[in-house]
Amino acid sequence: MRTRAATAGMRALAAATLLLALSACATSGPARPVPASHTLVPGSRVSLAVPAGLRYDAALPGFESDDGRTALFVSELPGSVYATMRSFSGEAFQRSGMELETQERVTVDGWPARLYHASQPLPDDELSRLVLVFGDSGRSVVLTAVTPRSRADEQDAALRAALLSVRWHRGGVEPASAAP
């Protein structure tokens, strides 16, 4: 015979289990199609509108120009996006030999995000870097676009548009849209 306390305890355990299951569903979300204007980055759950002149390069993973001077890298990292964003301070950029020029709060695919613009001196030029960071409490998505400062006028707007077009398919990709 069960006591009221035991029954209440079982109900509390069942409610907690249901809450965890619902949060897991909310975190992963349903599988979504890749929009026709987007390319799914193989090995990731990220798709974006790739700028003209860039092609997929598995070594990155991401996209690169034919001459290798402009690139867009995609990374999905374990861990909280808040911790990842804290690591993108002005001092952190300086320690990596870069100068943080601007940072702004943006929204991508419904997610709050930060877009950082930094420069990095090179012996014969300077790199312009755009870094987009977003995610949730369990995973961070970091996209980095790099182009020489000498090309920044022609490339930065296209690279920025590509970063802001990103879709995060956390729950996976619908099978029909996963095919090349």
pLDDT tens-digit readout, 112-151: 999 999 999 988 889 999 999 999 999 999 999 999 988 8
Tens digits of residue pLDDT in 24-56: 334 467 888 899 999 999 989 999 999 999 999
Q: Model pTM?
A: 0.79
pLDDT above 60 for 16:
no
Kindly list the domain boundaries of the chain, sorted by start residue: 1-30, 33-178
**What is 33-178's CATH number?**
3.40.1000.10
CA dist list (Å): 118 to 12, 70, 121, 165: 50, 15, 10, 20
**CA gap 115, 134 in Å, rounded:** 9
| Residues 179, 140, 161, 62, CA torsion sign | negative
**Percentage of residues of the chain with pLDDT beyond 90:** 59
45 neighbors 172 (Cβ within 8 angstroms): yes
Place of tokens 């970091």: 142
Q: Which residues contact 5 (CB under 8 A, 6 or more apart)?
A: none
